[in-house]
Amino acid sequence: MRYIVFFLGVWTTAKLPVIVYEFASFGVKFSLIHICFGLLFFYLIGIIFEKFYKHRQLLKYDRTKDV
């Protein structure tokens, strides 16, 4: 579960066109800081998400039930 959240987060942050634009516009230092914090942030969010939601609970989720 954590890896799915991590993948989706990094997919939005570290795409090649975005990285090239950041390097050209903001410089190497900013781009590296932004990418590193993005990787760390989405990994930690994945761990937190995994703690709150059990894998079996998500598999048994039925969205047709009324809450």
pLDDT at 23: 93
Q: Which element (helix H / strand E) includes 29?
A: helix 28-52
pLDDT at 57: 63
Asked whether the predicted pLDDT for residue 54 surpasses 90, the reply is no
pLDDT at 40: 93
pLDDT at 33: 94
The contacts of residue 24 (CB under 8 Å, 6+ apart) are none
pLDDT at 64: 72
pLDDT digits (tens, 9 = 90+) for 11-35: 888 888 888 999 999 999 999 999 9
| Domain edges within the chain | 2-59
Asked whether the predicted pLDDT for residue 55 surpasses 80, the reply is no
